[in-house]
Amino acid sequence: MKMKGDAMKNVYISCPKHLKPMLKAQVEVKFQNLYIVKDNIEESDLVYVVGDVTISMERELIQANRSGIPIIYANEKFQNDEVYDALLSNKKTLKVKTKEKAHNLER
């Protein structure tokens, strides 16, 4: 859920060409309050990589890396690949950062 004051991020989807229309529509529905899908990497704040990396995708990733744009590798459901694989394999231990609230209770 989008928090007050959070700005929408411009996102570029790097994927095989045949998947792009479907993934773009999926982001626009699933993340409508978080992301605006851009067709140009240079206009994006974030790059999602979905699927097996092709030569043209590799060029896009080099461009994003040179521009300092964060890259996230994800599956077709936009779930982080590393986290998803760890959950399925049950072989990795995930470290989860949490914020603990300090409670000062007095009577």
pLDDT digits (tens, 9 = 90+) for 29-58: 888 878 899 999 999 999 999 988 899 999
Token match 């992301």: residue? 35
Tell me if the pTM is above 0.85.
Answer: no
Q: Determine contact, residues 56/19, Cβ cutoff 8 Å.
A: no
Q: How confident is the model at residue 3 (pLDDT cuts 50, 70, 90)?
A: very low
Dist. CA 11–CA 38, nearest whole Å: 6
Q: Minimal CA–CA distance to 93: which of 102, 101, 103, 83?
A: 83
Dist. CA 39–CA 37, nearest whole Å: 7
